[in-house]
Copies of this chain bind each other. A is one copy, B any other.
């Protein structure tokens, strides 16, 4: 019997004493080394003891064509061997009709061996279901994102059975409904702490993948206040550019990435400590 993804993630966070996810987004304009796999190996070596997860963003590998995808495959192998127990979240925000979604799930879980994948809800449950057939794996349903135009559709008020709520909350309700076995989380941007608070109120246990801290301007303390569950976990704080491009010098990028990851992890753990009292009160 395989543990559910939600339990595997929780265990990784507890054992590693970290809620931090480092986004592996190799950008040829900013990487100080030529090779994608080489760059990622250096980042993993520098940060593995500070994180609960890595999150390769598919777009950055695709932008190198097939050699980029091969470098992604190398990177996953490297994380498995050098940082066992760390979750790997394939960030592709895939979503399509059933047969196609099955092929995406095969790619994400069988070929690339990710522990979880981000998925886009626009096509409804058909697009998600094939991902839920993999024991121990999980999805993060894109719900309320961190970009400036995120509200354009996500904040539209929709009417129906459950009354009038913004679309993103409706998506979160559906996502929780899809979860038969501890395999569904949601994506909520750090730039939207008020929305995050409403989502946490309505869904006390759903894991949240939180991008948008650092380069995108999200406030870590506000995100933790809004997102932590009653156990003081349940959120994955992702930072990409602020860590992996903390320095863009070949001689110093790995050390700078390590320093940035330690800084973020310490800050998050300090805030968790500060918040623990108030969270227990809220939760009781």
Contacts and interface: CB of A to CB of B under 8 A. Distances in A.
Copies in the complex: 2
Contacts of A122: 120-122, 142, 145, 153-154
B171 A57 contact: no
A147 B160 contact: no
Contact of A111 (B65, B95, B145, B146): B65
Interface residues of A, number: 63
A210 to B, nearest CB: 13
A268 B249 CA distance: 59
A250 interface: no
A104 B160 CA distance: 35
A147 B167 contact: no
A233 to B, nearest CB: 25
A147 B98 contact: yes
Interface stretch (A6-14, A38-46, A123-131, A222-230): A123-131
Contacts of A17: none
Interface stretch (A66-74, A197-205, A251-259): A66-74
Main secondary structure of the interface of A (DSSP, over half): helix
Nearest to A152: B124
A72 B62 CA distance: 12
Given A66-B69, A122-B121, A167 B156 contact: yes
A272 interface: no
A57 B104 CA distance: 10
A94 B93 contact: yes
A166 B99 CA distance: 26
Given A123-B147, A153-B167, A156-B160, 10 more contacts: A25-B103, A65-B69, A65-B111, A66-B67, A66-B73, A98-B148, A123-B150, A125-B149, A156-B159, A157-B158
Interface of A: 25, 27, 57, 59-60, 62-67, 69-70, 72-73, 93-101, 103-104, 106-107, 110-112, 120-127, 142, 145-154, 156-160, 164, 167, 170-171, 174, 211, 216, 241
